[in-house]
Amino acid sequence: MAYETFIRPFFRCGSHWWSVFFGVLPVVVGVMAAYALEMRWRNPKPVGQPAVQGPKLVLPTCPLDLGTGVPGETLRARVPVHNLGNHPLVIESIKATCGGCSSLRLEKTVIEPGESVDLEIEAYLREERKEVRFQIRIQSNDPSLPIAAYEVYARVLPILEATPEEIWFGQLTAGGQRKEILIRWPDGRQINAPQDIEVSAVRGLVRVVEVRTVEQPMSALAISVEPEPDLEPGEFVDRLLIRPRGSSRELVVPVSGYIASRISVSPSELYLGVVTLGGTPMKRSVLVRRTDGDPLPAPTQVLTPNGVKVTELTQDHLCTQTRRFLVTIDPASVAPELDDHVVLDFGDLGQTRIHIVGVVRR
């Protein structure tokens, strides 16, 4: 009787009722799923989980992304602090690991069981760097987690962007080598004219040769720099400060390289071994080369220790980059302790040294 009265008419209606049923069902399921996810985020405790004995502090599992800002800007956000225990949660202290970079404020310090309170966070972007990252440490009466840590980070938008981010000249054997970097606004807007950008070197080891506008492949400024011509051989390190005219913010571009000596000698050390006093003279040859490709002139001065003589073996002095020298050691005249240098002075090109060492026996 019940079948004829209630069920059979439902099937007799054809597909109309079924279409309504299956049309409404996804909407209902979607709404319930969205509500369940919202409740799960606001209260991480799974449904049906028994209450934790004592207070229980729970924070969101994912770090807090404050977004992007510029130096001088303050970024703000709120983070829920949950008490999933069955006793009041007492917040004893809240501190940030970055010192004075942030301000933290909790609506109240006693959170009842099952309650959530928002922690207000303000982060101050003070420095020119790519990212600010710190931890918030919350001390409470939670016996299982006396100090809870929560990570917070934000990205700092630079005043300008440089490609590449640093300049490396490599090893230089001659002056006049240039390197170029492209400067553009981070937001992609039209770059200013060259005269609207100020560029300076902190230590004065490099100089700006040219600043010009480049339209392809993007609107940018091309800055060409080169080392100063009178740098001493060895490594040099400097920084370019680039700022829009009238702005207090600046972009820092590291610059480095290595200045090789324009004169090299091979070998740079002559080890004579045992030198017998009164023995026959000992002879060694060395090759001196100019590294920048220009002809190597004759040395203006040759300084030698006692008992050491230097003569040149090079026959053709025209347009040669190398010169060969013969070093002769007279055992009868050398010092008792043979550990000294021969100095070849090439004037403006600088000096090169040859280390001579040996053991003198009588």
pLDDT interval class at 68 (50, 70, 90): confident
For CA atoms 87, 88, 90, 96, the dihedral sign is positive
CA-to-CA distance for 87 and 55, rounded, in angstroms? 5
Identify which of 7-16, 18-27, 137-146, 171-180 has the greatest average pLDDT: 137-146
The domain over range 161-259 is classified in CATH as 2.40.110.10: no
* pLDDT tens-digit readout, 19-30: 545 555 666 666
Residue partners of 188: CB distance under 8 A and separation at least 6: 218, 219
pLDDT for res 47: 40
pLDDT interval class at 48 (50, 70, 90): very low
Average pLDDT taken over every residue of the chain:
79
pLDDT interval class at 15 (50, 70, 90): very low
At the second CATH level, the architecture of 57-156 is: Sandwich (2.60)
Average pLDDT over residues 98-103: 74
CA distances to 75, 127, 151, 354 from 124, rounded to whole Å, are: 7, 9, 15, 59
Q: Do domains 161-259 and 263-361 have the same CATH topology?
A: yes
pLDDT for res 295: 84
pLDDT for res 175: 58
pLDDT for res 40: 54
Burial annotation 323-336 (CB, 10 A radius, 16+ → b, else e): bebebebbbeebee
CA-to-CA distance for 266 and 354, rounded, in angstroms? 9
Residue partners of 319: CB distance under 8 A and separation at least 6: 295
Tell me whether residue 85 is exposed, middle or buried, using C-beta atoms within 10 angstroms of its C-beta: 0 to 12, 13 to 18, 19 or more: buried
Which among 146, 21, 30, 27 is positioned nearest to 90, based on CA atoms? 146
Q: Quick one: DSSP state of residue 345? A: E
CA-to-CA distance for 302 and 346, rounded, in angstroms? 9
pLDDT interval class at 160 (50, 70, 90): confident
Average pLDDT over residues 281-303: 85
The domain over range 263-361 is classified in CATH as 2.60.40.10: yes
CA-to-CA distance for 105 and 51, rounded, in angstroms? 27
How is the chain split into domains, by residue range?
57-156, 161-259, 263-361
